[in-house]
Amino acid sequence: MLRVLFVGDVFGQPGRRVLSARLPELRKGVDFAVVNMENSAGGFGMHREAADAALKAGADCFTLGNHAWHHRDVFTMMNDEVTYPIVRPLNYSDPGAPGVGWRTFDVQGEGGSRERLTVVQVLGRVFMEALANPFRALDDLLDRGEDLGNILVDVHAEATSEKQALAWHLDGRVAAVIGTHTHVPTADTRILPGGTAYQTDAGFTGPHDSVIGSDPAAPIQRFLTERHDRYRVADGRAELNGVRLELEWNRAVKIERVRIVEGE
């Protein structure tokens, strides 16, 4: 049995702070921790400072998202895949995209058992940039016949319908489908009939008093005036959101939400 923690989009300095403060304790209760880092560098991308702090706190694998390429540190980190276990979106149309869209880890499970965990990320296409088909990209990966062990899919997408459809499409073929990108945790945590754990969005790890991470002033002004002002990472207390999974034979035995709000 393999216990995995998945932490949703780390956003800016408040997100990095709450991750560094809380991940070490959370990590003790699991065998592996996947952290989505796409907003960890001031809201856009991941820089080395953020990656190093997350590794120190106990992260075992990083996923990214639509802001994958925003900070150029990511390109050099991708050249050092032992130090920086990064999984970027799988479904870019460019076959020469840097990095990898999935990665298999050998993990020591509960009671010393040897387990395999494959982490894969896809980007959705509804209300997002045009990319290759994420459903087909995952079918192609699963049809290769490789021993991927327990498979965890981070579906980084805007539309609930696209995320749900992907989960049903993959039900019984992967251990978990966990959504990211909308930054708000959803309450639909469940295991589908075929054994795949699912939650539409893990929620994010960043400033609690914010509009999906930004200080509310600029988004309010934008919606009031149709003029896009500069967004600023909100200050103040932070929240950490994610899910905790128990996996066996590429099926989920358990999924539960993890939510910490500083000061509560």
List binding-site positions.
9, 38-39, 66, 156, 181, 183
Asked if 134 and 121 count as a contact pair (C-beta separation under 8 A), the reply is no
Considering only residues 40, 66, 196, 199, which one is a binding residue for Fe ion as defined by CB under 5 A?
Answer: 66
Longest CA pairwise span in the chain (Å): 58
Q: How far apart are CA 73 and CA 157, in angstroms?
A: 24
Identify residues 189-248 at the interface with Fe ion (CB under 5 A): none
Q: Is 16 in the site for Fe ion (CB under 5 A)?
A: no
- The neighbouring-strand residues paired with 256 are 244
The pair of structure tokens assigned to 14 is 């408040």
DSSP letter string, 60-128: -EEE--TTTTSSTHHHHHHT-TTT--EE--S--S-TT-SS-SEEEEEEE-GGG-EEEEEEEEEE--TTS
Q: How far apart are CA 253 and CA 198, in angstroms?
A: 12
Identify residues 33-62 at the interface with Fe ion (CB under 5 A): 38-39
Q: Is 65 in the site for Fe ion (CB under 5 A)?
A: yes
Which residue positions form the known binding site for Fe cation? 9, 38-39, 66, 156, 181, 183
Phi and psi torsions of 200, nearest 5°: -60, -40
Residues 132-171, mask of contacts with Fe ion (x by CB under 5 A): ----------------------------------------
Q: Which stretch binds Fe ion (CB under 5 A): 21-29, 93-101, 176-184, 222-230?
A: 176-184
Q: Which stretch binds Fe ion (CB under 5 A): 20-28, 71-79, 180-188, 255-263?
A: 180-188
Question: Which is the catalytic residue, given 67, 71, 169, 208?
Answer: 67
Q: Is 71 designated active site?
A: no
Q: Which residues bind Fe ion (CB under 5 A)?
A: 9, 38-39, 65-66, 181
Task: Enumerate the active-site residues.
Answer: 67
